[in-house]
Structure 1
Amino acid sequence: MSGTTKQRNVIETLDALFQERRRQVPFLAQRADAEGIERIAYREDMIPLLFPHTAYKSYPESLIAKGNWRQLTRWLDSLSTHRVTDVDLSGVADVDGLIDRLEAAGHLVSSSSGTSGKSSFLNKSPRDREVSLQNMLDGLTDLGLPPERTWHFIPVGPETGLSGHNAMRDLLLGSYGRPDGIPLFPAAPPAAGHHAYMARLSAVRKAMADGTATPDELAAHEAEAAKRQAENERRLHYWAEQILEHRSERIFFSSQFASLFRLTEILRELGAKDGDITGENALTVGGGLKGHSLPADYQAQIYRMLNISPSRFFHYYSMQELNLRLPRCSAERYHVPSGLVLFVLDKNGEAPAPESDGQVEGRAAFFDTTVDGRWGGTITGDKISVDLDACACGRSGPSIAPDITRYSDLVDDDKITCAGTTDAYVRGFIED
């Protein structure tokens, strides 16, 4: 297929999805009308229709603080493909109860960790979850790790109780975990109240910034944070002891880097040295450091201690707005899969970033054609560098360099021009 034909097919796909979704997603219809966009004829036509990542946290925080669940679901409905307005909200006591009620009605709401403050909420359908889970298995298989129940499976990170996290854990355990494998951490109590905790965390951070936090509020927050941290330490010590008992057997790790690095520190505290763990172990990891500060060589330290080779390491770039993952290749670059359209925008998210000698740097934006529960277009908070030519690994098409940074971590901060307008639009659905 020629490049021109492929590009035309992409435009046709984008327009078809736009025509369908504008009838389903209220905010998209309003945005298209405001921009005067009737059809997608060029890639650039999509840019005003891409939602800034902040759109999914544009609700007034008072809705959670006051338990105004009807208004909150109305806000969520404005960003959703499938209507949320008929959910039974009677007896909902907190945001965790709201999420449970929404899930019972088929709205598999995904929530951010809230590490940057206010949590975001994205409506996902059962189809979205199925696509995401299958995409994980496909990525591992492409790497050379097809599902085989021959591994000890260790989900390193803390339990959140979130159904999406549980679904991924159960998928990997059921696809790779050996029947007589290491038992999951047994001492953890049921992880409940995650969303309520993150809401409280956001409220305390805001109160601290405003100077209105009381000593009792700060003490309660610190006590709860310490309890959660202690539980996580117990979990990591359990895994470290199990790893040492099974040091020559194959272990499949699922984690984020910060938890994994802490695990290696505990292994060293228990006397383990590089080379002591000899099982041909595998790892899948996504996401960044989530605000943690680690040594420059933290990844190398992890690989050496846990005996992870590149052929058994599925590293990818993705985010909760996407169903699909961008796998990292042998040349340490992230590749855009079929079904995902990459846009590299200027810092303000208004126009394509300028290209030079096959290179382009700017704000990452994506359209995921597999997204079902929402509009698939997202402007992220990430600054990326993209090579438009063939990669050293042999693959064609654009690839993203590994040094991805968040604009919020840079001096010039994270300012998307359309974000303020978007927030006003979405809030308008609540106030109308």
Structure 2
Amino acid sequence: MSTTTPLSMDEQTRLLLGDPTALANHSWRRWQHLPRTDVDAMQLAGLKARFAALRDRIPLLKKLADAEGIEHIDELDDVVPLLFEHTVYKSYPPSLLDKCNFTQINRWVARLVTPEIAEAVLAADVSRCRGLDDWFATMDEIVPQLCISHTSGTSGTFSFLPQGTREWEKLLQIRRMAVWNMDGPDTPQPELHAVYPYFRAGFYSYLRSNRHLINTLLPDEKHFHAAYPETLSSDVVHLAAKARVAHAKGTLDRFEIRPEMLARKQAFDQLQGDMPRHLAAFFEHMASELKGKRVYMSATWNLLHNMAKAGLSKGLEGVFDAGSFLSTSGGAKGIVQPDGWREDVLRFTGAKRLNETYSMSEVVASHPRCEHGHYHFSPTAIPFVLDPETSRPLPRTGRVTGRAAFFDLGADSRWGGFITGDEITVQWDEPCPCGQPSAYVVGPIQRYSEKHGGDDKITCAASESSHREAMDFLNQVQS
């Protein structure tokens, strides 16, 4: 990207969609201060381009767009009836997993992606896969351009997210700008270590980025330190999630576990029970081995705080280099955070600041929190605030509270529109004191399910019949 010749809007949009760090000349400060009018124009142009390119190429999107009679996008809100609700990604018949029928699951996946990806997915021989771990590993090998991940399965059913490998690469390139505090493409690579308080690898959505993290942020794989160097089994996680649901329903006595899985679940349960002690020992070891070094650490706020409390109780302060990058995402979401937890983390680690973000598995974008407590939207994701009862778009002016939704501009092999379960308040117009020009989230982020006693039924902005027809089409995978 030239620093002297202004780029046309078409060129800027192309970079936002395909090489976003180049749009800011690989400068973190420039990325945070892209002019609001430019970003708004690029996002609308990018949305139009994505819809034009994908409308007739992703089967589920075509079905829904046909039913709604949407042929083109003129304004941002035009896309709202085409935003997918979270149930889309777990709408496959659950019996397919019970029967290890991954051939039919691949047929389901193929309706969510572009024809080139779908062809590879349908051609993949997964008939001999005997579980989720086998299936994920096979798909990674045969369809490397696709990076399928799963969510936590708290409902007992996994959501499968068919994200492109390139999406993760672009996200980590943006994160590299922040972690290295880059001021241009020639910013030297720091001697950086990553401390990760969980498994080295796995198919969980938040484990999927580790491979790209190593390749993008670190000098080599030896600089990545995981509390558990092995791969987390998705089969065991799925089994544990189903067992929790059965226990909550009082049907655990009728819950059947295959003999070969029972020992693995028992070992996993033991590992979970021993995790606090193991993590305490891991962090103590890291504090000694990496003392004074620059580290990257990403974890939930409570895990970071527990680490800090354990270290401070032993008189440890300022353990790592002040340029270390600590990252946590998600906010509290209904949990009361103790006063001073951020200060404890910074005092123990020695880092200058704690980098908090608002993000979700279904949208490969991260929205950083500024020093005034506001989450600033990334240029790669178009935010929407929807009426929680109808999912109709609320005005993009003033201060508005409603259901968060996004269009992920980084998605080019799947449809990037997604409706979340989060209630947010967005300030569209009033400038933030931090100086960033973007719109931002103010106040707490809360799950609608927490407000309604665990129930959160999302109403799609598409007509009921259109949505039902689209879902019926997606689920017609069993021959």
Smaller-chain TM-score range? 0.7 to 0.9
For the Cα contact (< 8 Å) 2:333–2:445, is it kept in 1? no
Any idea what SS the aligned residue of 1:108 has? strand
1:34 aligns with 2:76: no
Q: What are structure 1's unaligned runs of at least 5 residues? A: none
Deviation at 1:427, TM superposition (A): 4.5
Distance 2:369 2:305 in 1: 20
Deviation at 1:112, TM superposition (A): 1.2
Letter in 1 for 2:351: I
1:128 aligns with 2:167: yes
How has the CA–CA distance of structure 1 residues 306 and 284 changed in structure 2, closer, same or farther, with 3 Å as cutoff?
A: same
Among candidates 299, 306, 326, match of residue 255 of structure 1? 299
For the Cα contact (< 8 Å) 2:167–2:364, is it kept in 1? yes
Distance 1:111 1:289 in 2: 22
For the Cα contact (< 8 Å) 1:157–1:256, is it kept in 2? no
Q: Which aligned pairs between 1:256-295 and structure 2 lie closer than 5 A?
A: 256-269=300-313, 271-273=314-316, 275=317, 277=319, 279-280=321-322, 281-288=324-331, 294-295=337-338
For the Cα contact (< 8 Å) 1:139–1:314, is it kept in 2? no
How has the CA–CA distance of structure 1 residues 289 and 80 changed in structure 2, closer, same or farther, with 3 Å as cutoff?
A: farther
Distance 1:22 1:261 in 2: 45
Letter in 2 for 1:67: C
Among candidates 102, 123, 130, match of residue 86 of structure 1? 123
Deviates more, 1:73-82 or 1:228-237: 228-237
1:62 aligns with 2:106: no
Deviates more, 1:95-104 or 1:213-222: 213-222
Distance 2:328 2:175 in 1: 11
Among candidates 136, 150, 162, match of residue 99 of structure 1? 136
Note the alpha carbon deviations across 1:347-389, whole angstroms, 9 max, x for none: 1352123577x21111111112121231011111111111112
Letter in 1 for 2:432: C
Note the alpha carbon deviations across 1:179-219, whole angstroms, 9 max, x for none: 89877358x462242x2122212321232233221298699
Name the counterpart of 2:407: 367
Distance 2:38 2:107 in 1: 41
For the Cα contact (< 8 Å) 1:185–1:239, is it kept in 2? no
Any idea what SS the aligned residue of 1:403 has? strand
Letter in 1 for 2:285: E
Name the counterpart of 1:22: 55
For the Cα contact (< 8 Å) 1:342–1:364, is it kept in 2? yes
For the Cα contact (< 8 Å) 1:264–1:305, is it kept in 2? yes
1:200 aligns with 2:239: yes
Deviation at 1:223, TM superposition (A): 5.8
Name the counterpart of 1:239: 283
For the Cα contact (< 8 Å) 2:368–2:376, is it kept in 1? yes
For the Cα contact (< 8 Å) 2:426–2:442, is it kept in 1? yes
Distance 1:181 1:415 in 2: 45
1:75 aligns with 2:108: yes
Deviates more, 1:72-81 or 1:135-144: 135-144
Count of residues in Structure 1 that have an aligned counterpart in Structure 2: 425
Name the counterpart of 1:13: 46
Q: What are structure 2's unaligned runs of at least 5 residues? A: 1-8, 10-34
Letter in 1 for 2:72: R
Quote the RMSD (CA, aligned, Å): 3.4
Letter in 1 for 2:149: S
For the Cα contact (< 8 Å) 1:204–1:217, is it kept in 2? no
For the Cα contact (< 8 Å) 1:156–1:260, is it kept in 2? no
Any idea what SS the aligned residue of 1:92 has? coil
How has the CA–CA distance of structure 1 residues 117 and 302 changed in structure 2, closer, same or farther, with 3 Å as cutoff?
A: farther
Any idea what SS the aligned residue of 1:209 has? helix
Deviates more, 1:22-31 or 1:68-77: 68-77
Name the counterpart of 2:460: 418
Q: Percent same amino acid at aligned positions?
A: 30
Note the alpha carbon deviations across 1:382-402, whole angstroms, 9 max, x for none: 111111121111122311125
Note the alpha carbon deviations across 1:53-82, whole angstroms, 9 max, x for none: 221112222211121212211221122222
Distance 2:125 2:367 in 1: 37
How has the CA–CA distance of structure 1 residues 7 and 224 changed in structure 2, closer, same or farther, with 3 Å as cutoff?
A: closer
Name the counterpart of 2:375: 334
Any idea what SS the aligned residue of 2:122 has? coil
Note the alpha carbon deviations across 1:271-324, whole angstroms, 9 max, x for none: 135x453631321233345887753543332222222322xx433222222222
Distance 1:126 1:236 in 2: 34
Deviation at 1:265, TM superposition (A): 3.4
Any idea what SS the aligned residue of 1:99 has? helix
Name the counterpart of 2:31: none
Deviation at 1:114, TM superposition (A): 2.5
Name the counterpart of 1:385: 425
Note the alpha carbon deviations across 1:71-116, whole angstroms, 9 max, x for none: 2112211222220222111311001111112212232102112245
Deviates more, 1:36-45 or 1:217-226: 217-226
Any idea what SS the aligned residue of 1:85 has? helix
How has the CA–CA distance of structure 1 residues 69 and 245 changed in structure 2, closer, same or farther, with 3 Å as cutoff?
A: closer
Distance 2:130 2:221 in 1: 40
Letter in 1 for 2:446: T
